[in-house]
Structure 1
Amino acid sequence: MGNKIVPVNHDLLEQIAESASIGRSECFRIFKKIIGKTPVEYLTEYRLAQAAYHLSNTEKSISEICFSCGFNSTSYFGKIFKENCGMSPSQYRRSIRSAQKR
């Protein structure tokens, strides 16, 4: 997974659409058709994967990981992480560390 974080750029979809000479809605539709997810879903999934990597491999605080991965709120990060991973970020970190000790 690595340490590279996708920078937060709220105009990215518009920039892509403009460079392809298509509208934002058309860009959104094409993205979803090709990738199978909306741009927001794709970016959220990527950010969660990065967060999981950092939880597993660094001593950074959960708050630091949250913001460095592009989330704007620790409560939202915790909610989305739990919805997608089945446990809170701190539970995830403990379970990974416990498994690594075995």
Structure 2
Amino acid sequence: MSTQTLLPEGFSGLEPFVTGWALAGSAARAGRRGASTPEERAAFHAAAAGELPRALDYLDAKGFAAFDDADERLMNLMLSLGHVALAVEQQKDAEPRHARDRAHMHITRTPAGA
């Protein structure tokens, strides 16, 4: 019996967040941030922030050309963390107000479709 690995070896602690946060595209990640609850953002941030340096070292060492599906999911999680970190670390209690304002700012294109 084989089990699908959602993330690269050593990152299994982040697997509960793959479905909700490993999203391709800046617009999807921004939308998820806006639709998430404070508790969802806090839980993801608490789990992922400490893994960021190790995840980036892993991904940098591998290089984009060698990414498999698990690597792509890890990269998308870390890119989502950028959105969430802004909400959790900077916006804090003002996040709901900023979310309303962001609803009027539509992401139509980003570098390399990230």
Greater gyration radius = 1
From the two aligned structures, give the one with the greater helix fraction: 2
TM-score by length of 2: 0.27
TM-score by length of 1: 0.29
